[in-house]
Amino acid sequence: MQWWCAAQGVPWTWEWRPYPGVWLFVGLLFAACVAVSRRFGATRAERIRWGSGLATLWVALDWPVGALGSGYLASIHMVQFLLIALVAPPLILSGVPRAALERLRERRAYALVRGLTLPLVALLVFHTIVVATHWPGLVDALMASQWGSFTLDLAWLTGGIVFWWPVVCPVPHRPRFPFGVRIGYLMASTVLMTLPYVFLTFAELPFYATYELAPPVGTLSTRDDQRLAGLIMRIGGGTILWIAAGTLFWMWYRAETESERAGAASP
């Protein structure tokens, strides 16, 4: 029995397989979120957000998505990346109560959080992780073992938390990181994600031995699977970032409108 999804080199079947390491990991995160919510009085909306984030993470890591992405299809591996790094982190972070974030100021880790979540630092950290974790030699080395696959998934989650923190969390950088800057931050990220997309989509030969040598799943060729992975990164990742930017723009517009109304109502 495997405790984490990793490349196995055996023919794919749709027979369900348990991955207790995934259950334990998600379960520990769930317990931590429940403890924080109870201690700091999370609202119902906050509980729904972090619950949705954990559910997204579970789907990405467990069977069948985790198993297919870890050793069979590069396209599903890219879906995992989007779910783990771009979908789950903002949901989880937006579910953390403001009081819990303020308590960070009293912790020794506050200086580290403050430094890592500076916009330029966060962009650099996240996109360094993105490029490194899509580098063929590193991917093939990590996906061959359960610990390596776990490390890859954890790197995506950590990078996603660092990336989304300046956008979602009000501590420690707001109001010095206003809506316009956050929107520009997300747009810059869509440009920076172009490099791995170009290599995956337009390469003449397969990049990853893990997927080139994997037992086939369906009729999709290795080359087409890799091209699909690049398109998923570009279209799927861009869509997520544009939706986030559009949401911020709407929040910005609403805040400005309410401010103007308050100013007009004051004597």
Nearest Cα to 156, choosing from 81, 218, 250?
A: 81
Matching residue, tokens 């810059």: 188
Does position 89 have pLDDT exceeding 90, yes or no? yes
Query: What average pLDDT does the segment 87-115 reach?
Result: 92
Residue 210 is predicted with a pLDDT of 94
Confidence label for 108 from pLDDT (cuts 50, 70 and 90):
confident
Phi/psi region, residue 11 (left: phi>0; alpha: psi -120 to 50; beta: rest), is beta
Domain ranges of the chain: 20-265
Q: What span, in angstroms and rounded, lies between the C-alpha atoms of 241 and 187?
A: 7
Structure tokens at 149: 């696959």
Nearest Cα to 3, choosing from 145, 142, 210?
A: 145
User: C-alpha 52: how far from its chain's center?
Assistant: 13
Residue 77 is predicted with a pLDDT of 97
**Are 142 and 148 spatial neighbours (Cβ–Cβ below 8 Å)?**
yes
Q: What angle do CA 142, 143, 149 make, to 5 degrees?
A: 75
What DSSP string runs through 166-197? HHH--TTTTTSS-HHHHHHHHHHHHHHTHHHH
Q: What span, in angstroms and rounded, lies between the C-alpha atoms of 45 and 94?
A: 9
| pLDDT tens-digit series, residues 171-190 | 888 777 889 999 999 999 99
| pLDDT tens-digit series, residues 209-232 | 999 999 999 888 999 999 999 999
CA distances, 43 to each of 100, 210, 254 (Å)? 13, 44, 22
Structure tokens at 107: 């912790």
What DSSP string runs through 61-95? HSTTHHHHHHHT-HHHHHHHHIIIIIIHHHHHHHT
Q: Tell me the percentage of the chain whose pLDDT exceeds 90.
A: 79
The reported pTM is 0.95
| pLDDT tens-digit series, residues 237-267 | 999 999 999 999 999 998 888 777 766 665 5
Q: What span, in angstroms and rounded, lies between the C-alpha atoms of 260 and 265?
A: 9
Average pLDDT, the chain: 93
- Among 30-39, 67-76, 151-160, 249-258, which is the least confidently predicted range? 249-258
Residue 266 is predicted with a pLDDT of 59
* One-letter amino acid for residue 159 of the chain: G
